[in-house]
A and B are shown apart, each in its own frame.
Chain A
Amino acid sequence: MIAQTCQDFLDTEVYPIMDKIDAPDIQLMKATLKKSGELGLMGIALPEEYGGFGQSFVTQMLAAETIGAGYSFSVAFMAHCGIGTLPIAYYGNDAQREKYVTKLATGEILGAYCLTEPGAGSDANAGKTNARLSEDGTHYILNGQKMWITNAGFADVQTVFAKIGNDRILSAFLVEKDMPGVVVAPDEKKMGIKGSSTAQIFYNDVKVPVENLIGTPGEGFRIALSILHMGRIKLGANVLGASKKAINDSVKYANERKQFCVLISTFGAIKHKLAQQAIKTFAAESAVYRVSKDIDDQIEKNKEAGLDKGRATIEGIAHYAVEAAILKVYGSEALDFVIDEAVQIHGGMGYSAEMDVERGYRDSRINRIFEGTNEINRLLIADTAIKRAQKGEFDLFGPAAELYNSIDSISSDKTTDEDYYTEKRRYMANFKKVVLIAIHGVTTYFDKKLVKEQEVMNNISEMIMETYIAESLALRVEKLEGIRGQAGIYRDMLDVYVYDAADMVRKSAMDAVNSFASPEESEKLNAAIEKLTKVAGVNVKEARRRIADKLIEDNAYKF
């Protein structure tokens, strides 16, 4: 299987030299990347006609998850295979694909993606890099500066975003590192992912042939955003792999370390940490593969509508922009939680550079920053959902207004004869009602100024995110029980997750409505939110102990 091939590569070619790679030794990183290319790992997402394996999006995500446990190698590998290759594969013409993608697929050449500038980070379209068409019309003259470029030190081909002439919107160009005027600065010294090359690149009167324009003039911003959707959804898979590695390290250590004459894995406080690590990871995984398959289905629809495979894929991913941002934010924050607890479980040893968790702790932090900061992605969750509804893609505001206007008579809809999953479905439906009530309130009150109320937007995003993850987990556990006939430990995960999620949804909703409502209105809204987020009591201590006991018995994450 592909995942096993990726795991074997990490075990045999990456982990044994991880200290050397992170020394850092950029040439060793380059050589290791090329080795992975020779084995075919770089072609998983690419079409067969360009040397790839044309795998489904679900399979791509499974490979991304496995590689995600590869520390700085994972970052360099994903940058090459994703943002370094896919702009050409998805938006390039046949000649560009033939010239570059076939070699990128095998690692013969390596790629980088150059968007960020000193004055253009989250505000990507603010870049000042300029491309001026030469008088004879044969090439563009590129001038500017890019920074925080992953793989800068060795990438042979760069996708560079720049504005043509006085354009206000970006275009995308293929720039080769050996073109005169391309100057790569020394690598940055970073907190983590030390083995990955990160540097500034300067472009001084670089002559870029006109045939190296990707897509059409002015299409760059769209390409950049589409590629970022793809990058952040794959990051959701990467952090899953990193979380599982940290859990494995945690439980193995807890099963070896003795204090007060007993293994620390027997302590309730440690079991609580192990269980929480597992629950968050399992929940994130549920959402990752739910969306992945939805994307595969959307890609098929796009192909049936006449799009070529590349465009069908990137448009399929962009279609799920809300979910992509959810996976990025939830997954990166779940990993930070998991790795932080991993260090804590290791005690003093967790602070030692001899342990993998120390590297993991430093490497994890970047995930909340790159592929769009979590602040930007949080805003995107609410903003994109609201805007798509405003465009009429689905009716959000009708049901929202209906709920808001019947706030006095709202009930939790609890019935006396509901079974386990009926109850969970009711909880999910009620969480959604809370989201709709809050959206109706804030969009009505703040109207066009809502986008400037970032704290309120964050409240809405938090609710959407928690609801989506909780629902994905509930659907997975229900389906799993249907397949396997029992789901004891998985029910425990769902019970604990929903019990905690109800609190988060309630708090975020109340924060949102209290930001605009009069005292009388606030009282009514808060009472409704209270009803809709009421969930049955759960013995979370025992549920977490059962989850931890399975981890401890397996001595690994095997859910």
Chain B
Amino acid sequence: MFPERNIVKSEIINESIKMENKKVLKSGEFLVDTVAAKDVFIPEEFND
């Protein structure tokens, strides 16, 4: 199993990627709607 420290860290990751009031589009809806950059998750947010 993972060392315990890894589990704790991954829980922190899960917490850190929550974005409040995010606008979520349906599949394919991006064709007729826009998303703001702030509402998109980017991989750099794992660390930032």
**Are B40's CB and A476's CB within 8 A?**
yes
- B1, B24, B40, B46: the one within 8 Å of A475 (CB): B40
Q: With A53-B2, A290-B40, A388-B26 in contact, do A435 and B17 touch (Cβ < 8 Å)?
A: no
**Are A319's CB and B27's CB within 8 A?**
yes
Residue pairs across A and B with Cβ atoms less than 8 A apart, 25 shown, are A1-B10, A2-B2, A2-B6, A2-B10, A40-B1, A53-B2, A56-B14, A59-B10, A289-B41, A289-B42, A293-B19, A293-B40, A297-B24, A319-B26, A385-B27, A385-B31, A389-B28, A394-B28, A396-B32, A464-B28, A467-B30, A471-B35, A480-B42, A482-B37, A483-B45
Q: Contact mask A288-308 → B, CB, 8 Å, 1/0?
A: 011011101110010000000
Determine the chain A residues whose CB is within 8 A of the CB of B31 once the complex forms: 385, 396, 432, 435-436, 464, 467
**Are A293's CB and B28's CB within 8 A?**
no
Q: Contact mask B18-44 → A, CB, 8 Å, 1/0?
A: 010010111111111111111011111
**Are B1's CB and A388's CB within 8 A?**
no
- A396, A421, A483: the one within 8 Å of B44 (CB): A483
**Min distance, Cβ A112 to any Cβ of chain B, angstroms:** 24
Q: With A40-B1, A384-B28, A436-B31 in contact, do A289 and B37 touch (Cβ < 8 Å)?
A: no
For B5, the closest partner residue in chain A by CB is: A1
Determine the chain B residues whose CB is within 8 A of the CB of A475 once the complex forms: 35-37, 40, 42
- B2, B6, B24, B29: the one within 8 Å of A393 (CB): B29
Q: A19-27, A135-143, A259-267, A320-328: which lies at the B interface?
A: A320-328
Q: Does A85 contact B (CB under 8 A)?
A: no
Ranked 5 nearest A-B pairs via Cβ = A293-B41, A385-B28, A478-B37, A479-B37, A40-B1
A56 to B29, CA, bound (A): 23
**Are B32's CB and A293's CB within 8 A?**
no
Determine the chain A residues whose CB is within 8 A of the CB of B36 once the complex forms: 475
**Are A5's CB and B17's CB within 8 A?**
no
**Are B13's CB and A39's CB within 8 A?**
no
Determine the chain A residues whose CB is within 8 A of the CB of B42 once the complex forms: 286, 289-290, 475-476, 479-480
For B25, the closest partner residue in chain A by CB is: A294
Determine the chain B residues whose CB is within 8 A of the CB of A293 once the complex forms: 17, 19, 40-41
For A429, the closest partner residue in chain B by CB is: B34
Q: Does A344 contact B (CB under 8 A)?
A: no
A1 to B47, CA, bound (A): 11
A213 to B44, CA, bound (A): 43
- A59, A396, A484: the one within 8 Å of B13 (CB): A59
A-side binding surface: helix, strand, loop or mixed? helix
- A2, A58, A482: the one within 8 Å of B17 (CB): A58
Q: With A58-B41, A289-B41, A294-B24 in contact, do A436 and B17 touch (Cβ < 8 Å)?
A: no
Q: Does A468 contact B (CB under 8 A)?
A: yes
**Min distance, Cβ B25 to any Cβ of chain A, angstroms:** 7
Determine the chain B residues whose CB is within 8 A of the CB of A472 once the complex forms: 40
- A40, A322, A425, A436: the one within 8 Å of B32 (CB): A436
**Are A1's CB and B17's CB within 8 A?**
no
**Min distance, Cβ B37 to any Cβ of chain A, angstroms:** 4
Among A40, A55, A289, the one with the most B-chain Cβ atoms within 10 Å of its Cβ is A289
Given A297-B24, A475-B40, A484-B48, 8 other A-B contacts at CB below 8 A? Answer: A56-B13, A62-B46, A319-B26, A323-B27, A394-B26, A394-B28, A435-B31, A467-B30
**Are B37's CB and A1's CB within 8 A?**
no
For A106, the closest partner residue in chain B by CB is: B1
Determine the chain A residues whose CB is within 8 A of the CB of B26 once the complex forms: 319, 388, 393-394
Determine the chain B residues whose CB is within 8 A of the CB of A478 once the complex forms: 37
**Min distance, Cβ A551 to any Cβ of chain B, angstroms:** 18
Q: With A53-B10, A59-B14, A475-B35 in contact, do A483 and B48 touch (Cβ < 8 Å)?
A: yes
A515 to B3, CA, bound (A): 59
Determine the chain B residues whose CB is within 8 A of the CB of A421 once the complex forms: 37
Q: With A384-B27, A471-B30 in contact, do A289 and B43 touch (Cβ < 8 Å)?
A: yes
Determine the chain B residues whose CB is within 8 A of the CB of A375 once the complex forms: none
Q: Contact mask A87-124 → B, CB, 8 Å, 1/0?
A: 00000000000000000000000000000000000000
For A55, the closest partner residue in chain B by CB is: B10
A39 to B10, CA, bound (A): 15
Q: Does A521 contact B (CB under 8 A)?
A: no
A301 to B48, CA, bound (A): 26
A1 to B43, CA, bound (A): 14
